[in-house]
Amino acid sequence: MRIELEKRPDVSKLYAFVSPLLALVLTLAFGAIMFAMLGKDPVEALDAFFIEPLLEVWSLHELAIKAAPLILIAVGLAVCYRSNNWNIGAEGQFTIGAITGSYLPIVFYDWHSPLVLPLMLILGALGGALFAAIPALLKAHFNTNEILTSLMLVYIAQLFLDWLVRGAWRDPKGFNFPVSRDFTPEAVLPAIWEESGRAHWAFIFAIIAAIGVWFMLRYTLKGFEIVVLGQSERAGRFAGFSSKKMIWFSFLFSGALAGLAGIGEVSGSIGHLQPAISPGYGFTAIIVAFLGRLNPLGIIASGLVLALTYLGGEAAQLSLGLSDKVTRVFQGLLLFFVLSCDTLIYYKIRIVWSRLRGGAA
């Protein structure tokens, strides 16, 4: 038995829409088998994982809280990946954004002003962009592989945060715990709708960013430039586009969004700095970007789906005693299925049973 691919004359519009859904269904089916193997009732487990968290208002708020950083980061990554720049260090840019954004509320703890919050957000975005500038500089001017450098910088950012909260920025009244001082109320990102739950403004930023980037990709010259350079650098050069400038643009842009996500998370959800501020949002956002087919509007939907895997993981851990590692397995599987289903968009798949090359057909 052999699998043969035949290139479609045109990209299949049908499968472009169906493929992410198919991937979801396959992941769920596979998940059910996995739950059964772990000795849990698959229906009950899937219900706890994917349905229960959607039935209560407070947990919908949690969904928005978890989706916000995922969407913000993934939208930036979509710009990178579309232009063929492989920034996989968003986790590091997220961390540095959280640090630079926290500078004001920690170092100038006693400065109370309505300016604090907007300045924090700007500093966070700047920090993320500057940190992403390192792999951009190295790729544009030293020809260095951006995948490896951006990833190495994640470890460096996390160690730097660890040093800060155990050293200079540790709360003097924190009983030696590695946490910073709690932010004052002016430095906390407000809730969107306080009466019903915790979801804060980072989610609004995420939606705005997604719509903005969708508009940019679809209706502006910059968007066209991104797509052209991503598909063929040579064609882009003939059109007068500079791939070097695109490296800078895509990295700074995605770094800024990741940094904004970082400070949004720290200010809105955590309220202080601590050694671990992210359950791998920067990496999960890569899955979000691909599940959304690198389309910002698709990313809103896929960000919510991936946020649900985090929530469902926590819920299933409590109600069924499932390991919290199941979440990461789900996320990994989902990316695999997304990538395999995407083949259907560009190719017809034929299973050939005969051993003859090309078959008798």
Partner 1 sequence: MSIFEAILLTVITASTPLVIAALGELVTERAGVLNLGVEGMMIMGAVGAFAAAQLTGSAYIGIVGGIVSGALFSLLFAFLTLTLVANQVATGLALTILGLGASGMLGEAFVGAPGVRLLPIEIPVLSAIPYVGTVLFKQDLIFYLSILLVIAVNWFLFRSRTGLKIRAIGDNHASAHALGIDVIRTRYLAVMFGGACAGLAGAQLSLIYTPQWTENMSAGRGWIALALVVFASWRPWRLLAGGYLFGAVTILQLHAQAFGIGIPSQFLSMLPYAATVVVLIIISHNRRTTLINTPASLGKAFVPDR
Binding site for partner 1 (CB under 8 A): 3-5, 7, 86, 88, 138, 142-145, 147-149, 151-153, 155-156, 159-160, 162-163, 166-167, 283, 286-287, 290, 323, 325-333, 335-336, 339-340, 342-343, 347, 349, 357-358
- CB nearer to partner 1: pick between 23 and 121: 23
The least CB distance from residue 243 to partner 1, in Å, is: 13
The least CB distance from residue 198 to partner 1, in Å, is: 27
For residue 7, list its beta bridge partners: 347
Asked if 85 and 283 touch (Cβ cutoff 8 Å), the reply is no
Q: 182: which 2 tokens?
A: 């709690």
Q: Classify residue 137 as exposed, middle or buried by CB count within 10 Å of its CB (0-12, 13-18, 19+).
A: middle
Closest CA to 148 of 89, 92, 97: 89
Taking CA atoms, 94 is separated from 118, 157, 250, 259, in Å, by 17, 9, 16, 5
Closest CA to 103 of 153, 167, 169, 155: 169
The least CB distance from residue 344 to partner 1, in Å, is: 9
The least CB distance from residue 92 to partner 1, in Å, is: 10
- CB nearer to partner 1: pick between 57 and 143: 143
The least CB distance from residue 119 to partner 1, in Å, is: 27
Other Cβ atoms less than 10 A from the Cβ of 67: the count is 28
The least CB distance from residue 57 to partner 1, in Å, is: 30
The least CB distance from residue 49 to partner 1, in Å, is: 14
The least CB distance from residue 228 to partner 1, in Å, is: 18
User: What residues have CB less than 8 Å from 187, skipping those under 6 apart?
Assistant: 104, 105, 116, 117, 120, 267
d(C-alpha 92, C-alpha 78), whole Å? 17
- CB nearer to partner 1: pick between 184 and 340: 340
d(C-alpha 325, C-alpha 336), whole Å? 17
